[in-house]
């Protein structure tokens, strides 16, 4: 019996020793694993701006937060990151991308660190003004916190592209100024042109766009980007000859629409109709532009081309010529990026021109009928639409 007890005691001792050894090993390993995970979580939680003053970006209705793009990036934020934004009034945006451009689909929120902007811009791409949607007022603040590192890196890499302000980097004046005649469907040749701004010289393209437009005999300008006050301000600070543009302006041949980028909004449509109604009172050739000749111009040109019977492919090709001009993105040279731009940027324009809602189908759309409805819904009469078509087709 005593032998049995001794054996049991020895066995128990060995068992306890083994248990203790495993516990010691676990104590040695587990704390480091437990410390690493909270450290990673703490690092993510600490990547935050703190409260930043929020300012209404009135042109497009976004929200500037009081930090430069450079300083924001120095904190550790990178284009392609997912972030959360919390405003002092309680409004929140969760898991939105931070891009160096507007690479979300229409109606989706993002933070844009667009080259040349004074601050990071919290906004909705081609959507309702976020300042108003969020119910912000002067004195409110916003805090940006990292949600997930590089969650949207694939989109940023595909669409993230910048251009230079140097003429020598481009093949021709036309490419540099993004200047070309509109075409497609039944549009007459050289009746309407599109370009970067011929008067706002922030990107160094205005003198080239103005000279090209003058050479093409442009008699009327539909300015989608600026107000009259802004145009007059450009005259005052211009370091190049603005006499041609100023002559048209003083003669009443420049209409300034001061549009935002939300082409699906009633305000945009009604202002555009007001401008087109004015345009048909004048003789061409015509020029339409915004700042770069890309977004607001891109929609307006697709609308007018569709109205004149252009196909999806014709509208797309004209729209995408801008991306070739600025960034060298073409179907031949970079099909992956080309397809990404078409999907994210152009396809909703085609849906809108075709009378379809966000996320609708592109199958079998009648762009001429859809464009007419867009204009008549915004107040243009059928007779005015017919007159507009006649001006653009010379029929």
> Tens digit of pLDDT for each residue in 303-342?
999 999 999 999 999 999 999 999 999 999 999 999 999 9
From CA 125, how far away is CA 351, in angstroms rounded?
16
Please give the C-alpha separations between residue 321 and each of 328, 330, 334, in angstroms, as whole numbers.
9, 8, 13
Q: Does the structure show a pLDDT above 90 at 5?
A: no
Which position has the higher pLDDT, 82 or 59?
82
Candidates 78, 93, 249; CA nearest to 160 is 78
In the chain, CATH 2.40.30.90 sits at: 48-159
Query: Tokens 């009443």 — which residue?
Result: 252
Instruction: Out of 159-163, 177-181, 245-249, 308-312, pick the least confident.
Output: 159-163
Say if residue 24's pLDDT is above 80.
no
The answer for residues whose C-beta is within 8 angstroms of residue 376's C-beta and 6 or more apart is 382, 385
Distance CA 361, CA 67 (A): 40
What distance in Å separates the CA atoms of residue 113 and residue 117, rounded to the nearest whole number? 7
Q: Work out the average pLDDT over 105-129.
A: 94
Query: What contacts 341, CB < 8 A, 6 or more positions away?
Result: 159, 320, 323, 329
User: How high is the pLDDT of residue 36?
Assistant: 46
60 confidence band (pLDDT: 50, 70, 90): confident
- pLDDT tens for 261-304 read 999 999 999 999 999 999 999 999 999 999 999 999 999 999 99
> Where residue 72 falls among pLDDT bands split at 50, 70, 90?
very high
CATH topology for the 167-393 domain: 3.90.190
pLDDT tier, 188 (very low <50, low <70, confident <90, very high otherwise): very high
| In the chain, % of residues over pLDDT 70 | 89
**Residue 31 has what pLDDT?**
37
Mean pLDDT, rounded, of the chain: 91
* Predicted confidence band of residue 239 (pLDDT cuts 50, 70, 90): very high
Q: Which long-range contacts (CB under 8 A, 24 or more apart) does 245-254 make?
A: 245/198, 245/199, 245/210, 245/221, 248/218, 248/219, 248/220, 248/221, 253/219, 253/220, 253/221, 253/282, 254/220, 254/221, 254/223
What class does CATH assign to 48-159? mainly beta
Per DSSP, the three-state class of 63 is: strand
pLDDT at 105 over 70: yes
Residue 263 has φ and ψ, to the nearest 5°, of -70, -15
The ranges of the chain annotated as CATH 3.90.190.10 are 167-393
How confident is the model over 128-138, as a mean pLDDT? 95
Q: Is residue 185 a contact partner of residue 310, using CB atoms and an 8 Å limit? A: yes
């Amino acid at each position: 019996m005593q032998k049995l007890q001794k054996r049991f005691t020895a066995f128990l001792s060995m068992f306890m020793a083994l248990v203790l050894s495993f516990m010691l090993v676990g104590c040695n390993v587990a704390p480091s694993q437990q410390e690493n995970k909270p450290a990673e979580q703490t690092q993510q939680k600490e990547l935050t701006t703190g409260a930043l003053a929020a300012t209404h970006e009135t042109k497009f209705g976004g929200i500037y937060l009081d930090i430069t793009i450079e300083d924001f990036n120095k904190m550790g934020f990178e284009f392609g990151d997912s972030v959360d934004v919390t405003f002092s009034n309680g409004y929140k945006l969760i898991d939105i991308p931070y891009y160096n451009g507007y690479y979300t689909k229409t109606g989706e929120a993002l933070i844009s660190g667009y080259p040349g902007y004074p601050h990071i811009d919290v906004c909705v791409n081609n959507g309702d003004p976020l300042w108003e949607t969020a119910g912000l007022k002067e004195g409110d603040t916003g805090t940006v916190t990292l949600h997930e590192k590089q969650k949207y890196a694939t989109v940023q890499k595909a669409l993230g592209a910048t251009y230079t302000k140097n003429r020598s980097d481009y093949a021709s004046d036309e490419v540099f100024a993004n200047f070309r005649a509109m075409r497609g469907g039944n549009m007459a040749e050289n009746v309407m042109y599109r370009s970067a701004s011929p008067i706002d010289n922030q990107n160094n393209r205005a003198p080239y766009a103005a000279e090209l437009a003058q050479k093409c005999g442009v008699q009327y300008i539909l300015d989608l980007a600026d107000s009259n006050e802004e145009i007059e301000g450009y005259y005052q600070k211009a370091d190049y000859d603005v006499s041609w543009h100023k002559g048209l302006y003083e003669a009443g041949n420049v209409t300034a629409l001061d549009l935002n980028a939300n082409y699906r909004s009633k305000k945009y449509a009604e202002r555009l109709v007001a401008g087109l109604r004015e345009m048909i009172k004048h003789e061409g050739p015509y020029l339409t532009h915004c700042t770069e000749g890309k977004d607001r111009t891109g929609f307006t040109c697709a609308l007018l081309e569709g109205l004149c019977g252009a196909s999806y492919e014709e509208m797309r090709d004209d729209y995408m010529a801008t991306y070739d001009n600025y960034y060298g993105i073409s179907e031949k040279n970079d099909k992956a990026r080309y397809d990404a731009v078409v999907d994210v940027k152009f396809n909703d324009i085609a849906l809108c021109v075709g009378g379809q809602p966000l996320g609708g189908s592109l199958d079998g759309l009648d762009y001429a009928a859809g464009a007419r409805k867009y204009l008549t819904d915004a107040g243009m009469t059928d007779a005015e639409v017919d007159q507009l078509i006649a001006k653009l087709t010379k029929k």
